Chains A and B, each alone.
Chain A
Amino acid sequence: MTTSELRLSASHLACERGGRLVFDGVSFTVGSGEALVLTGPNGSGKSSLLRQIAGLLESGPDSLRVEGGDPELTLAEQSHYVGHLDGLKPAMTVAETLHFWAAWFGTGAGAAHVAAALDGMNLASLADLPAAYLSAGQKRRLALARLLAAPRPVWLLDEPTVGLDTASIARLGHAMQAHLAGGGLIVAATHLDLGLATAKTLDLGTGVLS
Chain B
Amino acid sequence: MSRAFIALLVRDLRLAARIGGGGGMAVFFFLVVVAAVPLGIGPAPDLLARIAPGMLWVALLLSSLLTLDRLFQADHEDGSLDLLTMGRLPLELVVVAKAVGHFLTTGLPLVVAAPLLGLMLNLEVAAFPALMLAMLVGAPALSFLGVIGAGLTVGIRRGGLLASLLVLPFYIPVLIFGVGAARAALAGFPDGVAAQSLALLAAVTLASLVIGPVAAAAALRANLR
Contact = CB atoms under 8 A, between A and B. Distances in A.
B140 to A, nearest CB: 24
Nearest to A90: B19
Interface stretch (A27-35, A52-60, A61-69): A52-60
Interface string B1-34: 0011011100100110011000000000000000
Contact of B85 (A55, A86, A103): A55
What range describes how many residues of A lie at the interface?
Answer: 20 to 34
Main secondary structure of the interface of B (DSSP, over half): helix
Interface residues of B, number: 24
B79 A89 contact: no
**Most chain B beta-carbon contacts within 10 A, residue among A56, A57, A79, A104:** A104
Contacts of A87: 78-80, 82-83
A108 B34 CA distance: 48
Given A76-B85, A76-B86, A104-B8, A56 B14 contact: no
A103 B6 CA distance: 9
Main secondary structure of the interface of A (DSSP, over half): loop
Contact of B7 (A81, A88, A100): A100
A155 to B, nearest CB: 12
A116 B24 CA distance: 37
Given A56-B224, A87-B78, A77 B88 contact: yes
A73 B3 CA distance: 17
Cβ-closest 7 pairs across A and B: A85-B79, A103-B7, A87-B80, A87-B79, A91-B18, A91-B19, A76-B86
Interface of A: 54-58, 73, 76-77, 79-81, 83-92, 96, 99-101, 103-105, 146
